[in-house]
Structure 1
Amino acid sequence: MSHALYTRYLEARQQQPQRYARDLAQHLGVSEGELTRARVGHDARRLQVDAATLLEACAALGEIKAITRNEYAVHEHLGRYTNLSLSEHGGLILNPRELDLRLFLQHWHSVFALCEQSARGERLSLQCFDQYGDAVHKIYATEQSDMDAWQALVERFASPENPAFPNGTTPPPAASAAMPTVDSAALEREWRAMTDVHQFFPLLRRHGVTRQQAFAAIADDLAYPVDNGALQQILEQARHDQNEIMIFVGNRGCVQIFTGQIAQVTTHQQWLNVFNPRFTLHLQAPAIASSWVTRKPTRDGIVSSLELFAADGSQIAQLFGQRTEGNAEQPRWREQLAALAALTEVPA
Structure 2
Amino acid sequence: MKSTYQHYLALKSENPRRYARDLATMMAISEAELAHIRIGYDAKPMKKDFVALLQALHTVGETKSIVRNEYAVHEQVGRYDNVKLSNHTGLILNPRALDQRIFMRQWASAFLLKEDTHHGERQSIQIFDTHGDSVLKIYAIEKTNITAWNEIIAQFTLESISNFSVTPVGKTLLNTAFDAEKVEEEWRAMTDVHQFFKLLNNHNITRQQAFASVSNKLASKVENTALSRLLDMIQKDQNEIMIFIGNRGCVQIFTGVVEQFIPKGGWLNIFNADFTMHLMENKITETWITRKPTKEGYVTSLELFAEDGTQIAQLYGQRTEGNLEQQRWRNQIESLLVQDQVA
TM-score normalised per structure 2: 0.97
Cα contact 2:48–2:108 (8 A) shared by 1 = no
Is the CA contact (8 Å cut-off) linking 1:132 and 1:165 kept in structure 2? no
Q: 2:104 — aligned with what?
A: 105
Deviations 1:255-306 (A, max 9, x none): 0000000001112212110000110000010010000000000011100000
The answer to whether the 8 A contact 1:258-1:279 is kept is yes
Q: Percent identity?
A: 51
Q: Name the counterpart of 2:16.
A: 17
Q: Distance in 1 between matches of 2:163 and 2:220?
A: 44
Which letter maps to 1:220? N
Per the alignment, residue 170 of structure 2 pairs with 172
Which residue matches 2:68? 69
SS, match of residue 289 in structure 2:
strand
SS of corresponding position for 1:181: coil
Match of 1:230 in 2: 226
Deviations 1:226-249 (A, max 9, x none): 110011111110011110000000
Deviation at 1:164, TM superposition (A): 4.8
Equivalent position of 1:265 in the other structure: 261
Partners of 1:137 and 1:290 lie apart in 2 by 26
Q: Which residue number corresponds to residue 276 of structure 2?
A: 280
Partner residue of 1:41?
40
Counterpart of 1:320 in structure 2 is: 316
Partners of 1:224 and 1:342 within 8 A in 2: no
Moved more, 264-273 or 21-30: 264-273
Cα distance, 1:11 vs structure 2: 0.9
* Amino acid in structure 2 at the alignment position of 1:315: Q
Task: State the alpha-carbon separation in 2 of the partners of residues 214 and 194 from structure 1.
Answer: 14
Q: How does 1:1-348 map to 2 (within 5 A)?
A: 2-168=1-167, 170-174=168-172, 176=174, 180-340=176-336, 341-345=339-343
Paired amino acid for 1:328: L
User: Normalized against structure 1, the TM-score is what?
Assistant: 0.96
Alpha-carbon deviation of 1:132? 1.1
> CA shift at 1:57, angstroms?
1.1
SS at the partner of 1:189? helix
**1:339 alignment partner, SS class:** helix
> Amino acid of the residue matched to residue 170 of structure 2?
P
Rounded Cα–Cα distance in structure 1 between residues aligned with 2:204 and 2:45: 39
Question: How many angstroms apart in 2 are the aligned matches of 1:301 and 1:273?
Answer: 32
Secondary structure of 1:109's counterpart equals: strand
**How far did 1:131 drift?**
1.2
* CA–CA separation in structure 2 for the residues paired with 1:275 and 1:167: 34
Once residues 324 and 181 of structure 1 are traced to their aligned partners in structure 2, the CA distance between those partners, rounded to angstroms, is: 37
CA contact (8 A) 2:223 2:342 kept: no
Q: Which amino acid aligns with 2:294?
A: T
Structure 1 residue 203, shift from structure 2 partner: 0.4
State how far apart, in whole Å, the 2-side matches of 1:342 and 1:175 are.
32
Counterparts of 1:344 and 1:73 in 2: how far apart (Å)? 25
Shift of 1:175: 5.3
Q: Distance in 2 between matches of 1:261 and 1:334?
A: 16
Name the Cα RMSD after superposition.
1.2
Shift of the alpha carbon at 1:49?
3.1
Cα offsets for 1:13-63 (capped at 9, x unmatched): 111111100000001100000001111111111111321111011111110
Whole-angstrom CA distance in 2 between matches of 1:59 and 1:183: 47
Structure 1 residue 7, shift from structure 2 partner = 1.4
In 2, the alpha carbon distance for the partners of 1:73 and 1:344 equals 25
Closer/same/farther in 2, CA of residues 174 and 234 from structure 1, 3 Å limit = farther
Call closer, same or farther: CA 1:165–1:220 in 2, change over 3 Å.
farther
Could you say if the C-alpha distance between residues 175 and 146 of structure 1 is closer, same or farther in structure 2, counting changes exceeding 3 Å? Answer: farther
CA distance in structure 1 between the partners assigned to 2:326 and 2:64 by the alignment: 29
Gaps of at least 5 residues in structure 1 are: none
